[in-house]
A = this chain, B = another copy of it.
């Protein structure tokens, strides 16, 4: 079977190990409106999404930059799938490192969104 060897594509991306994820880095990543929006959308959909799925108010170069910041801070995991790059929240890792934090942050963001229109 050797089903344990995925290697669907030769391109793979560097992710921080759980022990390397820093709270300050996570907070910094989420302190940008564009990135916070990305994370909120990922959480809402619940599944990995391609970069092109998002309709962001910045160019594609900048979008790439934001996704990289999220990946390098440990917030998301990125995997190539054909030409698409799928982005998924590292929910389990974050939950283990900072229990309850992600949900709390998402709730806070939702709370704020309701207050400032954009329900």
Contacts and interface: CB of A to CB of B under 8 A. Distances in A.
Interface residues of A, number: 25
Nearest to A73: B31
Given A98-B111, A101-B105, A27 B30 contact: yes
What is the oligomeric copy number? Answer: 2
Given A107-B99, A111-B99, A115-B19, A27 B24 contact: no
A46 to B, nearest CB: 21
A64 to B, nearest CB: 21
Interface in A19-47: 19, 22-25, 27-28, 30-33, 36
Nearest to A36: B24
A109 interface: yes
Contact of A23 (B23, B25, B101, B108): B108
A104 interface: yes
